[in-house]
A and B are shown apart, each in its own frame.
Chain A
Amino acid sequence: MYNSLITNSYFKSNFSFSQINDISFLVFLLTSLFSLLLIFIFFIILSKLYDIKVANNYFYDFKKRGQILGIALFNSVGFNTLIFSLICLFFSTLLNLFYNKDFIAFSKGTELVFNSKVFFSQFTVLFVFFIFIFFINTKFKSKLKYDFLYLLLLLLFFIFSLFLTNDLVGLFVCIEGVSFVLYTMSAIPLGNSYKFKKLARIRASIKYVMISLFSSSLLVFGFSLLYINTALVNLNNLNIFFKYFSKSEIICTYNSHYLSFILILVGIFFKLGIFPFHKWLVESYLNLENITIFLFATLTKILFLFILVNKLNFIFYFYEIKNFMVVAGVLSIFIGVAGAFINSNINGLLAYSSIANIGYIILLLSSSFSGSSVIAIIYMFYYSLSVLLFFICLFNCQISYVNNDYMVKIKDYKNIFYFSEYTFSSGLALSVFSLMGLPPFVSFFIKIYLFSYLFFFKSIFLSFLIISISVMSFYYYLNIIRNLFFYNIYNSGKKKIWINNSVLDKFLIYLILFFFTISSFLIPTVLSYIKIFY
């Protein structure tokens, strides 16, 4: 049965690989990924057993130590994970190249689905992971413990299994596994020492853990209600069931379907930080270490959005649920913009801007077009790229200021342009402009899509309101740029230090800029979905 499915749906171009008309290639790739993961974990445990501390320094000075290449390579944990994430990146791009259409493969028990949604979310997750490990290796090395890197590998394992599960139970286990690692990471003090507010950090992390646990309990409750009502666990079956259920004219007297959907949505809204459930997000952004916020802002958001869009997409068959999402989206845009106006803290600004951006995405998802979910994922991909750029530039600044200032307020970033390498400040400006959604960036087209959708299908007033709110939001983004560039050197009284970007940081910035330019090729895909309107 699946052979016919495959031949219909993939290999439209004449690759030489097209002769491999079998499932084995795909299975080979996936098993190789998992086996690689296992091998790396094995070698790390080996290195722990021998406890070669020297080997961890291999990344910088293996010539001094005179290590043999093989031993040193396998013993340095950070280097291993770095290489592993690179390999994963490579394989995921390979997978998407060959299976560029929606492709369903049935093997024993598991079902694997590859499409552009999966690719974009996988790519962003792995890219974030790569940069995260890069940073840990270079900047925070002295604070590093071995255990932390195990946690990272565990996180990677759970993320991979999350992409592959097609079960309510498996989904919940993976969500818990991912958030378990995030709980511990929020508590570990591994970042730079500029934040001495220890008590506030602990309070924020406890709050995060409590709320996250509560939200996942809501998720479990929703899942179990679903199981009680439908006696189905498989997501594909659920999808098919609700597709016909929503179209049938049977009046649903028993409303617990809606109850379960709303419980699931609330659980995911908690984790994404959408309007009524956003308060914890701001506090954690303000008080946690910046390196963990780096993960919160990019990795968790894309993961939970992916779950909502790709795994639990049967929620969107129901009109009433969509109205709920419209209200949540509009209000979170309001709250995000209003909160960012008041905030003078750079992390707080980023928190509120993330709330507003996810409000845009939720509004997008409330539309009834199939393309809107792909566009939401692309928007998230682009958003996380720009946040990555933002954080890389921020880290460079903060690390060179460890002993002098705290660099928490926006005011503290005054005149960075005049006493730093120009790649840093221009990179920060680029990321801020891309967060705005102004024309030279892809996010502009996604906003155009949203506006035109609201204009024709919801209400003209709403679309006009949201356009004007997004224009108002430019003001606080421009505040950052004004502080970076626009004051003369002599005006600010603070002590100045020349900030050096290392070669590695420059490499990272150029890498992200490269992806920025590459992603301009996404414009036609976004535009092709706009044509669906007519």
Chain B
Amino acid sequence: MQNMLIIISFITLIFSIPLNFIIVCFLNNLFYIKYLGLISSSITLLATSILFFFFDKSTNDLMLNSGNLFEQLGVAEIFNFFIFDSFSFIFLILSALIFPSIFLYNFEFVKFSSKFHTQLLLSIQFFITISFLTGNLLVFYFMFEAIIFPMFLLIGIWGSRSRKIHAAYQFFFFTVISSILIILAIILTYKNFGTLYFRDFYFIEINESDQYLISILFFFGFMAKIPSLPVHIWLPEAHVEAPTIGSVILAAILLKFGFYGIIRTVIPICSSKVIYDLSPLFLTFFSISAVYGSIMAVRQIDLKKIIAYSSVAHMNFAMLGLFTLSKTGIIGSTFLMFSHGLISGSMFLCIGFLYERFHNRNLMYYGGLVQFMPIFSSIFFFIMFSNMSLPGTCNFVGEFLVFLSLVNSGNFLLFFSLLTVLLVAIFCLVILTKTIFYQITGSLNNNLVDLSFIEFFLIIFFVFYIVLFGIFPNFLIKCIIV
């Protein structure tokens, strides 16, 4: 019980700190502002890392009813119930790890109106933490849809080219139109279940036809977030036109909402018969879009677009593991989600460093960077290799587990999805040879400076975590209980 109280207090600390710092931002000068985001995000990182030790890894599902505490405070009824199990915990750790480095980047590179920028980022952090913590479906929906507002402004204001308007509109309308399906599904679930708490979905069983309808609506709604094949178009556009920080948040955290939503809704709502009926449909969508994403990544020449398509491939590959419906598959896909968050975030940061120096993202523009940026190119080399799942990095663990689960679900699917690994390796090697190892191109003659201290500091965090969770994956796998 005491343990529970500590956990509740830390949870309230985690989600209230960004909110408080938004208000603090109003009162301060421009000089101060850059420190504030850093302070708040480091406090949340500290709180989550302390929470890690209190987190009881042995019990099956750790869900808290913090009702009494919040009734005394007089807070709204819907915030009574927090869910705090392995899935929410892992994504909470991910967001806590990524935000300090984002604010460090903000420290260096944001040129104008950094006050507004900091406030938008803090609000994004607040929405993310609440949506991973809440146990109510409507609140979850409310919070992850709320991220559209700051994200739209981030892409539109701090993006670099005039194409950004198109990208921001695409981002907005794809997410909103997909969310129509989710609204309909939520209304239908409330009609059938009578509650919207995730916990109750496990215990109540409803009509089979309703199960089919609801789960398919949820699936197609969350497909734009993952994103899968027919509705993936917004992602490369948004990634290319967003500022570096925006694309880091998008790739590292926002794409995970598709996975998280499906795990919270589709899997508990369906009975085992229904989900075994539906899983071939889902698997075909994911496998085709995984291969398609990796093929598209090979033929791009925009550096950010390559990484965007690689994240399409990786996300869909991870979803394959979820719908094999085995224990190893679910663990592997969760772990792959986590590692993809770290790796794609760090890749976008690396390309952000390049863009700050040369103001170009074309692959053909670069060449021979290793000769005058040795520190950068060694780090970039390592991250690219971890993207193609080198053993010893955390991506390898996830992909290996997903493959292990795919063995049982048919040979064709296994070999078809093996294509993605091959193609990912191809484009990673292409990027490395073109940018780092080729001759120095004539156009690269100014700004030939290696990483500054802050840049090195913020990227080395990611490298450290990639190695840490690659060598000791049991840190996290212990937490994931299916």
Contact = CB atoms under 8 A, between A and B. Distances in A.
Interface of A: 417-418, 422, 426, 429, 433, 438-440, 444, 448, 451-452, 455-456, 464, 467-468, 471, 474, 478, 481-482, 485-486, 488, 491, 510, 521, 523-524, 527-528, 534
Interface stretch (B87-95, B145-153, B432-440): B145-153
A444 B77 contact: no
A480 B107 CA distance: 30
Given A438-B145, A440-B146, A451-B187, A482 B78 contact: no
Interface of A is mostly: helix
A467 B180 contact: yes
Nearest to B127: A440
Contacts of A488: 162
B116 interface: yes
B168 interface: yes
Interface in B75-125: 76-78, 112-113, 115-116
Given A478-B169, A524-B76, A439 B142 contact: yes
B149 A438 contact: yes
Contacts of B168: 486
B21 to A, nearest CB: 15
B165 interface: yes
Contact of A455 (B138, B149, B164, B187): B187
15 contacts: A417-B113, A438-B145, A438-B146, A438-B149, A439-B141, A439-B145, A451-B183, A455-B187, A456-B191, A471-B176, A478-B169, A486-B165, A491-B162, A521-B76, A527-B138
A482 B167 CA distance: 12
Nearest to B19: A517
B192 to A, nearest CB: 10
Interface in B273-330: none
Given A448-B183, A467-B183, 12 more contacts: A426-B116, A433-B149, A439-B145, A439-B149, A455-B184, A467-B180, A471-B180, A485-B157, A486-B168, A527-B138, A528-B77, A534-B190
B230 interface: no
B460 interface: no
Contacts of B157: 417, 485-486
A521 B172 CA distance: 27
Contacts of B183: 448, 451, 467
Interface of B: 26, 76-78, 112-113, 115-116, 127, 138, 141-143, 145-146, 148-149, 152-153, 156-157, 162, 164-165, 168-169, 172-173, 176-177, 180, 183-184, 187, 190-191, 194
B172 A478 contact: yes
B319 to A, nearest CB: 25
A467 B146 CA distance: 18
Contacts of B194: 534
Contacts of A534: 190-191, 194
Contact of A439 (B143, B156, B187): B143
Contacts of A448: 138, 183, 187
B76 A439 contact: no
Contact of A527 (B78, B146, B152): B78
Given A440-B146, A521-B76, A482 B153 contact: no
A485 B153 contact: yes
Contacts of A521: 76
Contacts of B113: 417, 422
B436 to A, nearest CB: 32
Nearest to A448: B183
Contacts of B177: 471
B168 to A, nearest CB: 7
A474 B168 CA distance: 13
A521 B78 CA distance: 11
A429 B153 contact: yes
B238 to A, nearest CB: 14
A444 B138 CA distance: 11
Nearest to B194: A534
